[in-house]
Chains A and B, each alone.
Chain A
Amino acid sequence: MKIKYTRMDRMILGFNSILLCLAVLVVIVPLVYIVLASFIDPTILLNKGISFNFSDWSLEGYKLILGNEAMIRGFLNSILYSVGFSVVTVVVSLFAAFPLSINGFVGKNFFMTLFIITMFFSGGLIPTYLVVKDLGMLNTIWAIILPGALNVWNIILAKTYFKGIPYELHEAAKVDGASDLLIFFKIVLPLSKPIIFVLAMYAFVGQWNSYFDAMIYLDDPNLHPLQLILRSILIQNSTDPGMISDQLAMAELKKLSEMIKYSSIVISSLPLILMYPFFQKYFEKGIMVGSLK
């Protein structure tokens, strides 16, 4: 049946459309501004704003960023950390979730309580830092990967997903003499591609976008991920002197440091921007499974 709209309804719907358009504009305009500004000479940007006269456009900002060693190293470090972190998180979560999804698994409640307590209580910044330090992990990739690898939400998500796999499959396999090992690797995991994908994506994005752990655990600039390099460009306003040849005048230096702000934002967000439209539905799915618990 089709709902007939009264005049009042049409007014409300019209108003609704206007508000939604506004919301979309509020989100999109700053993003488009950054992308456009990354191609424009900063002096022109300052005086004229965004210019659509293409003679004002240049790729200088991108040349500087892509030619900069610190930036490239940061990019590679970020890829390494994000991929490593995703792999460890996903493997640990899936492994832990499988026993917890089995009815009659002895110790299930004990383990679950142990995990859930950590969602509400934590030792805090310094005690965690001291553990990482005492394990000799400072200035190693392990300080980035291991302390945050166990995320209770991920276990709950994976457990919920495993429970959705019909138990008859397990039983049939058991009758055929399959062990838990075989069931996990041959039956459960092949059916779990969506959840593996969701967990990996969440972990990758989270790690790619974070700077805090790297800031406290990694002193060595050679190990810094992209976000820390970005922080020095965007927020601390310190440009690596090597990026700009030293004969340039002060004004020129300032101009260029303005310029690389925009291009560095675009470059650093590129992997996620490219992934985003394809993976949006998986991210949503992840949230939905989580909210069912």
Chain B
Amino acid sequence: MQGLVKTNKDAAFQMKPGKKMDSSLVRRLKYVRKNYFLYLLIAPALLLTIVFKYVPIYGAIIAFKDFNTIKGILGSEWVGFAHFTKFLSSPNFGVIFVNTLKLSVYGLLLGFPIPIILALMINQVRRAAVKKNIQLVLYAPNFISVVVIVGMLFIFLSPTGPINQLVMMLTGEPIRFLSNPDFFRTTYILSGIWQAAGWSSIIYVAALANVDPELHNAATLDGANILQRIIHIDLPTIKPLMAVTFILSAGGIMAIGFEKAYLMQTSMNLPTSEIIPTYVYKVGLQSGNYAYSTAIGLFNSVINVILLVLVNSIVKKLNEGEGLY
């Protein structure tokens, strides 16, 4: 009934813009008046969005200004793209940009397939109780805080920690995992997989549970072994899900989190551990260089949006026209 009213309204809107639009407006106003309670309900969310999301988006124009807290956002002088050119031509730019890209791309390439493999493996476990307990254990690290994860890394990988005690037995020399820049990406990515792989496998496990068992039975009768059934039945089932997950994570490549990298930074591993988000924080809040920092952040977001669009169109081509949008 409600849907019907809406279609009529839309049709009227298209036919005679002038007079009918008024009556459609009146009808809308009537609806709002009659259902004002609904608008009261949505108001807090709206207020929070405007204050904490849209005002900052507007505030981001300080990236194009010589921002001065006393003059305020509007009073400060325009400087155009000066902050952007400063960043792009600074000697730090190349290193930080490449660090950000490498950390995310390697993280994605390793982190994307592992949950899928894990889900395919869990799916083969026949006894429900065993399956449930495996999942209980594998999901647990997801609930550990990033501070504790990095704290554990420091404990396990310290020169006197348990891992280095093993290394010492083999080579006599401890490996400086935490201060050697060569190890930053490896420890960052592997600990990330340790924490998130189990939890990320959930949606695949659920999708696999929905595969019609008859398909498997029929394939078995035709002589297919488990590996063949995984390749020809299980994988095609989760393919659309894989595409969506991949687009979303690839689109978030430059949106890599600040929290863990910042905690893992030591003055020694900065050549590989300084990434755009940590740099934005240091330039902005530690050095008080608001406008410059905002420009760097904005640059990062723009690249991110471009990547999202790009990856989506590529996946769309590879995946028979099925993308995110």
* Set of chain A residues within 8 Å of B152, measured between Cβ atoms: 30, 34, 265
Task: Please state if A99 and B41 are interface contacts (CB–CB under 8 Å).
Answer: yes
Task: Please state if A99 and B42 are interface contacts (CB–CB under 8 Å).
Answer: yes
* B253: interface (CB < 8 Å): no
* A16: interface (CB < 8 Å): yes
Task: Please state if A120 and B38 are interface contacts (CB–CB under 8 Å).
Answer: no
Q: Which of B5, B32, B154, B225 has the most CB of A within 10 A?
A: B225
Among B52, B147, B226, which residue has its beta carbon within 8 angstroms of that of A230?
B147
B91-99, B105-113, B289-297, B312-320 - interface stretch: B289-297
* Set of chain B residues within 8 Å of A20, measured between Cβ atoms: 121-122, 125, 134
Q: Name the distance in Å between A145's Cβ and chain B's nearest Cβ.
A: 10
Complex interface residues of chain A between 80 and 113 (CB less than 8 A to chain B): 91-93, 95-96, 98-100, 102-107, 111
* Set of chain B residues within 8 Å of A272, measured between Cβ atoms: 143-144
* Set of chain A residues within 8 Å of B28, measured between Cβ atoms: 106
Task: Please state if B136 and A277 are interface contacts (CB–CB under 8 Å).
Answer: yes
Task: Please state if B259 and A211 are interface contacts (CB–CB under 8 Å).
Answer: yes
Complex interface residues of chain B between 19 and 55 (CB less than 8 A to chain A): 28, 31-32, 35, 37-39, 41-42, 44-46, 48-49, 51-55
Task: Please state if A211 and B147 are interface contacts (CB–CB under 8 Å).
Answer: yes
* Set of chain B residues within 8 Å of A126, measured between Cβ atoms: 62, 280, 284-285, 290, 293-294, 297
Task: Please state if A33 and B42 are interface contacts (CB–CB under 8 Å).
Answer: no
Among A8, A27, A114, A146, which residue has its beta carbon within 8 angstroms of that of B225?
A8
User: Which A-chain residue is minimally distant from B292 (CB atoms)?
Assistant: A126
* A28: interface (CB < 8 Å): yes
* Set of chain B residues within 8 Å of A31, measured between Cβ atoms: 140-141
What CA separation (Å) do A283 and B301 show in the bound complex? 30
Complex interface residues of chain B between 264 and 312 (CB less than 8 A to chain A): 277, 280-281, 284-285, 290, 293-294, 297-298, 301, 305, 308
Task: Please state if B62 and A231 are interface contacts (CB–CB under 8 Å).
Answer: no
Task: Please state if B259 and A212 are interface contacts (CB–CB under 8 Å).
Answer: yes
**Closest 6 A/B residue pairs (Cβ):** A123-B56, A234-B151, A127-B59, A209-B145, A96-B45, A124-B297
